[in-house]
Structure 1
Amino acid sequence: MLNAYITRNNHLVALGSDDDLGEAMWIDLFSGTPEQIAQVEALGISVPTLAEMEEIEISNRLYREGEVDVMTVVLPGLSEGSTPVASPVTFILTPQQLVTVRHRISRPFETYPQRPERTAVGCATHERIFLGLIEEIVGRLADLLEGIGISVDDMSANIYRNPEAPDSDELLEVLRQVGRQGDLLGRIRLGLTTCERMLSYYVQNLTTREDTKALKHAANAQTRDIQALAVHADFLGSRIGLTTDATLGMVNLAQNAAVRIISVVAALFTPPTLIASIYGMNFANMPELQVPWAYPVALAAMLTSAVATWAYFRWRGWL
């Protein structure tokens, strides 16, 4: 999918399929077809492949070719099956245009064209569109962090403030939710880190840009926002870890209760078993075998020993 936009009255207007792509200020290439990639490359812009975007070497993530800056970040997104993933997104800044290349669904790229005037920098130039898009991405990451915080609050309430002890199925569901939120938090943390590194690289190259002072001020403000969100992400990570430990502790307590019941039952039957095993021995001289009332006495002794064991456990508070 190829979307191209121009600026009119501080709004982004989509170009038609028959319009000149060279007039666009922002070109968004989402899982582009070979024909669409060829259209972009006809403007003199080299479009990186997905394999090149996934390279982890710093030289392949942030670099300059002539007057073109190529910057790649890793953002939370959705696969074709709506499965949460972390996917690379490349920002290509030329002297006249911004080109974004992505292969996964990313919500900020869908919401930003509808409201670019709400960002602090507007959309008067392609570089302001770039910073406005980063602002939208950072806002989306902040929303995801807030959602994680709400989920952690709900899980904590279920663990700490539930008057009844959760059963094993509820504890298993809490562990699954904690795992999902922790996985999402990791992708958000990666997105914040890569965005901060990209902005640092961008600020270093602002000496060659027009409107340097305003752009640098906006980039630095976004960097501070990212750093604040990173601190909040670390806090949520510690809360998720605490919730995981508490849930595992509840699981251990439930298992200990089950083992305690089994141990008590085994202990209750130990004295009767001892008595029964004594009279089950095949010795020739066992005088009790000839006594008519020996059998009911043995039964009474086994019952008495079991009751005495139960009473002792209750007295010690083990039941």
Structure 2
Amino acid sequence: MLAAYRPDAPGLAPLEAEADLAKAIWIDLLEPDAEETARVEALGLSVPTLEDMEEIEISNRLHREGDCQVMTVMLPGRDAERRQFSGPVTFLLTPDRLITVRHHTPRPFETFGTRAERSSAGIGSPVRVFLGLVEEIIARQADLLEATGRVLDRVASEVYGEEANDVEGLRLALRDIGQQGELTAKVRLALFTMERMLSTFIVWNGTMKHRDPQIATLAKAQMRDINALEVHLDFLNSRVALATDATLGMINLDENAVVRTLSVVAALFLPPTLIASIYGMNFAHMPELDEPYAYFIALSAMVASAVGTWIWFKAKGWL
């Protein structure tokens, strides 16, 4: 799918489907087919395939091709089946336009077109559109971290609450914690690759002949935002680890209580079992066999031993 936008103060306006792409300041390619790729490459650019984007090592994802800056980052989003995963997104930044290539749906690419006028960078040039989109991406990572914090707050109230939690509820809480841990890992990768992209972009911007003096300031401000999110991310990761340990501890305590109950029940029947075993031996000469009340005496002894064991366990606080 191809979406193209032109400047339309104070924001961006979508181009018509068959309009000339040379008028666009931002072209967004989502799983482009051969026809869409050819339309963009007619502008003199090479559109990378998904295989190209995935095979590029992290150390080689930032390079220049003439006056085009090619930058690939890893961003969390959803695939065609709406499953959360982290995939590559490539930015092709030229003096004339910004082109983004992706094969999944990070939310900022769906919202920035209608929110570009709110960007602190503005839309006066492709570089400013690029920084506005990066700002939207950073804000999205902040939203994801805030959502993680809310989930951890809910899980903490369930695990640490006064009301007892059953094992199934604790297992569901553990699943939620694991999902948030996976999400924070994806956000960390996104922040790491975006920080490298911005630091390289600042260097490249310094070599431009007609550079905008405000661009470096805006990019450095975004890097400070990323650093602040990384600190918050470390705090959330520590909460994830603590919540995981606490939930596993609660599950172990609950399971230990069940095992203890079974152990006590087994211990209650040990003395009666011993008595029954003794008098169940098939020896020819057992004096008690001739007693008329031996059977009732043995039963009484078994009951008394079980009751005595129960009273002793109760006194010890084991029941």
Normalising by structure 1, we get a TM-score of: 0.97
Q: 1:77 is aligned with what amino acid?
A: G
- The 8 Å contact of residues 271 and 306 in structure 1, kept in 2 or not, is answered as yes
Distance 1:58 1:170, change over 3 A: closer
Query: How far 1:95 sits from its partner (Å)?
Result: 1.8
Distance 1:311 1:18 in 2: 88
Instruction: Say yes or no: does 1:166 pair with 2:175.
Output: no
- Deviation string 1:247-279 (CA, Å, 9 cap, x unpaired) is 100110011001001100110000000001011
- Deviation string 1:146-191 (CA, Å, 9 cap, x unpaired) is 0000000000000002x22211110111011111111111111111
What SS is found at the alignment partner of 1:122? coil
Q: How many residues align?
A: 318
The correspondence of residues 1-319 of structure 1 with structure 2, limited to 5 A, is: 1-161=1-161, 163-209=162-208, 210-319=210-319
Distance 1:292 1:160 in 2: 61
- The 8 Å contact of residues 196 and 223 in structure 1, kept in 2 or not, is answered as yes
Query: How far 1:212 sits from its partner (Å)?
Result: 3.5
- The 8 Å contact of residues 5 and 24 in structure 1, kept in 2 or not, is answered as yes
Distance 1:78 1:18 in 2: 28
Distance 1:19 1:293 in 2: 107
Distance 1:310 1:42 in 2: 88
- The 8 Å contact of residues 53 and 60 in structure 1, kept in 2 or not, is answered as no
Cα RMSD for the two superposed structures: 1.0
Distance 1:221 1:313, change over 3 A: same
Structure 2: segments with no counterpart, 5+ residues: none
Distance 2:271 2:306 in 1: 7
Identity %: 54
Query: How far 1:19 sits from its partner (Å)?
Result: 2.1
What SS is found at the alignment partner of 1:205? helix
Distance 2:233 2:56 in 1: 23
Distance 2:207 2:6 in 1: 23
Structure 1: segments with no counterpart, 5+ residues: none
- The 8 Å contact of residues 10 and 124 in structure 1, kept in 2 or not, is answered as no
- Deviation string 1:291-313 (CA, Å, 9 cap, x unpaired) is 00111111110001001100110
- The 8 Å contact of residues 171 and 247 in structure 1, kept in 2 or not, is answered as yes
What SS is found at the alignment partner of 1:63? strand
